Amino acid sequence: MHRLSLLLLTAMLLAACGLPAATPPTPAETPTSAATPTNTRPPTPTRDPRLPTLPPRITPGPTATPFPLAAGWWEGAVCYEIFVRSFYDSDGDGIGDLNGIIAKLDYLNDGNPTTTTDLGINCIWLMPVAEAASYHGYDTIDYYTVEKDYGTNDDFKRLVAEANKRGIKIIIDLVLNHTSTQHPWFQEALRDPNSPYRDWYLWSAIDPGYRGPFGNNVVWHKSPVRDEYYYGVFWGGMPDLNFRNPAVTAEAYKIARFWVEEMGVAGFRLDAIKHLIEYYTLQEDTAETFEWLREFRRFLERELPGTFTVGEVFNGNPRTLASYYPDQLDYYFEFEVAKQIVGAANTGLARLLMQAAQDAYTKLPYQRWAPFLTNHDQNRVMSVLGNDFTKAKLAALALLTMPGLPFIYYGEEIGMLGVKPDERIRTPMQWTKEEFGGFTSGFPWQMPQLDYPSKNVMLQDENPDSLLNAYRQLIHLHINTPALATGDFIPLQAKGDDIAAYIRRSGDDIVIVIINFDALSTEPFTLSLSGSDLPDGTYQLVSLYGTPPAPPAPLTISNGAIVEYQPFTEIPAQTGYILKVER
């Protein structure tokens, strides 16, 4: 019996029993198999109305043509990162302060370009200085008031004035992605759903259920006041601001204006910028974030011209940073070069460093990137290098001869140790061999590293071969040698050994950098360059840094090429040189 006849008979029996009959399908609707028909789609699930409304997406604008920055103090600068709480305590309460930095400015730069007994830096990056809930300062409570542990707004202005006398520019951490839960904005938004600050943060009636970008971290946090959730990508104590709200952006502009016009800063290090604007589960590197940064740059150019910006895109490299150029911030930290400098010093192998440096130089526009070794979020470089001063000197040599704007973490210049947790990579600066490293006359907020009696500024100052004096020499060379400050980067091909060798050139100012990271001396090696715009001729090489095993042989450049040049027969183990090329 046909299937249709059976269905009709079933319907007649159901009708006789007083039961409703199902309408039989027409032949066109009858499935031919158990498989889902190819001409239908599964229904779109209905979005739970208790979830946040999905905002509209933007259409990215055309990509701007890469451009160099206008001339400014950042050309050839060397920046020094300071955690104020740990640098120097001026009043004996165990906490570093702004007056403590003022007291130590001559150590950083005495303002006399003819002396070399200072470190020589000309830029200071201060980790957060605004009033905050935690010791680290990244959970802001008041954007317009200096952290009371550090001093007052007047103290800050005095620091800027004293730094300017010495040719030092001050930039500060600008933490815009989030505030503290203790910030009055959040407290009002938390307790009053009708508050004008409610839309300054992100809320959901239920937990949206997705996790964050840091290894499945929780990003939606239960409100302590009512049955709802708020968004904070880092942790529950730091709720994210909602930069889709024009009022929040206007406040960010007001904060920037205050610190530049009222407090005198030269610029900002912008924290966690890749998380500024989210789109549901997409929580970093959104088109909306890029557009916000473009608008922020336009605001600075229009209202606060000359304000410098450097952005933190954690683990930034040429691939992940590409979308942030060229018309957003000025510079970005380049994490891959940092990783490979430390890796070369540790392993003795230079190939990955040379590759990373070349990639950054060619793919990131006009050297608008900032190399470093490690920072306040990472184990200190001296710990990574096994407390080896020779390796630390090689890392410093590479850092301060690379393209870009180098940053140095406080204490790096004396080889301070530090392994996480974070408090232990931000320990007090080791000034002397006296109690607590000369950091405070009281009891320090955090104990210094145990090696402070033998590793401190006082002892290294007296030793001409110390790491501190190597940093002093390299920083002064970087700033005062145009080739190192802003020059082109031209890799050399080394034959015979895995060494780092490259030319830095600015006009007629030319230097060659050669570094043997290996624990063994090189065998005979040569350096070659297939072609360049270097002027032809025969040149003499004069050492600016390091003592070569023999006077370097003359260098011949023909048609822009260098053919198997051997400056000397070998390079001793873990040794490097900066050689000036002269007619």
- Look at residue 217 in the predicted model and tell me its pLDDT: 95
- Look at residue 196 in the predicted model and tell me its pLDDT: 97
- The tokens for 566 are 């051997």
Task: Give residue 216's pLDDT band: very low, low, confident or very high (50, 70, 90).
Answer: confident
Share of the chain above pLDDT 70, in %: 92
Task: Give residue 509's pLDDT band: very low, low, confident or very high (50, 70, 90).
Answer: very high
- Look at residue 42 in the predicted model and tell me its pLDDT: 64
- Look at residue 40 in the predicted model and tell me its pLDDT: 57
- pLDDT greater than 50 at residue 20: no
The C-alpha atoms of residue 229 and residue 287 are separated, in whole angstroms, by 25
Q: Does the predicted model carry a pTM greater than 0.95? A: no
The C-alpha atoms of residue 398 and residue 381 are separated, in whole angstroms, by 13
Residue with tokens 């950098």: 513
- Look at residue 19 in the predicted model and tell me its pLDDT: 36
Amino acid letter, 180? S
The C-alpha atoms of residue 355 and residue 491 are separated, in whole angstroms, by 9
79-82/123-126 β-pairing: parallel
Task: Give residue 44's pLDDT band: very low, low, confident or very high (50, 70, 90).
Answer: low
- pLDDT greater than 70 at residue 10: no
Distances (CA, A) of 160 to 68, 195, 466, 508, 539: 27, 37, 30, 36, 45
Taking residue 4's Cβ as centre, other Cβ atoms within 10 Å add up to 13
- pLDDT greater than 50 at residue 2: no
Chain segment 301-344, per-residue pLDDT in tens: 999 999 999 999 999 999 999 999 999 999 999 999 999 999 99
> Per-residue pLDDT averaged across 14-31, rounded?
36
SS3 assignment, position 241? strand
- The b-or-e profile of 127-138 (16+ CB within 10 A means b, else e) is bbbbbbbebebb
Contact 373, 399 (CB under 8 A): yes
Contact 88, 100 (CB under 8 A): yes
Torsion-angle region of 445 (φ positive above 0: left; ψ -120 to 50: alpha; else: beta)? alpha
Chain segment 531-555, per-residue pLDDT in tens: 999 999 999 999 999 999 999 999 9
The C-alpha atoms of residue 119 and residue 98 are separated, in whole angstroms, by 19
Which residues lie across from 125 on neighbouring strands?
A: 81, 171
Residue with tokens 């709720």: 239
In the set 312, 336, 498, 518, the catalytic residue is 312
- Look at residue 29 in the predicted model and tell me its pLDDT: 33
Torsion-angle region of 180 (φ positive above 0: left; ψ -120 to 50: alpha; else: beta)? beta
Chain segment 448-492, per-residue pLDDT in tens: 999 999 999 999 999 999 999 999 999 999 999 999 999 999 999
- Look at residue 405 in the predicted model and tell me its pLDDT: 98
123-126/169-174 β-pairing: parallel
- CA dihedral sign of residues 471, 475, 476, 481: positive
Active site residue 303: no
* DSSP output for 337-366: HHHHHHHHHHHS--HHHHHHHHHHHHHSGG
SS3 assignment, position 452? coil
Chain segment 193-205, per-residue pLDDT in tens: 999 999 999 999 9
Burial class (CB in 10 A: 0-12, 13-18, 19+), 526: middle
> Per-residue pLDDT averaged across 556-583, rounded?
96
- Look at residue 434 in the predicted model and tell me its pLDDT: 97
The C-alpha atoms of residue 428 and residue 422 are separated, in whole angstroms, by 13
Contact 49, 206 (CB under 8 A): no
- Look at residue 496 in the predicted model and tell me its pLDDT: 84
Chain segment 62-93, per-residue pLDDT in tens: 889 999 999 999 999 999 999 999 999 999 99
Taking residue 534's Cβ as centre, other Cβ atoms within 10 Å add up to 21
- The tokens for 113 are 């370009």
- Between 17 and 235, whose confidence is greater? 235
The C-alpha atoms of residue 263 and residue 278 are separated, in whole angstroms, by 31
- The tokens for 309 are 């910006």
- pLDDT greater than 90 at residue 26: no
The C-alpha atoms of residue 297 and residue 223 are separated, in whole angstroms, by 35
Torsion-angle region of 41 (φ positive above 0: left; ψ -120 to 50: alpha; else: beta)? beta
Distances (CA, A) of 152 to 106, 147, 293, 429, 473: 22, 7, 30, 22, 35
Work out the end-to-end distance of the chain between its first and last CA atoms, rounded to an integer number of angstroms.
Answer: 105
In the set 97, 271, 334, 497, the catalytic residue is 271
Task: Give residue 167's pLDDT band: very low, low, confident or very high (50, 70, 90).
Answer: very high
DSSP state of 96: -
Chain segment 345-389, per-residue pLDDT in tens: 999 999 999 999 999 999 999 999 999 999 999 999 999 999 999
The C-alpha atoms of residue 498 and residue 513 are separated, in whole angstroms, by 14
Chain segment 115-154, per-residue pLDDT in tens: 999 999 999 999 999 999 999 999 999 999 999 999 999 9
- Where in 122-239 does DSSP place strands (E)? 123-126, 130-132, 140-146, 169-174, 203-204, 220-222, 229-231
Chain segment 394-440, per-residue pLDDT in tens: 999 999 999 999 999 999 999 999 999 999 999 999 999 999 999 99
- Look at residue 497 in the predicted model and tell me its pLDDT: 85
Active site residue 498: no
Share of the chain above pLDDT 90, in %: 88
Report the mean per-residue pLDDT for the chain.
92
Q: CA nearest 361: which of 402, 312, 314? A: 402
Q: CA nearest 517: which of 363, 428, 355, 391? A: 391
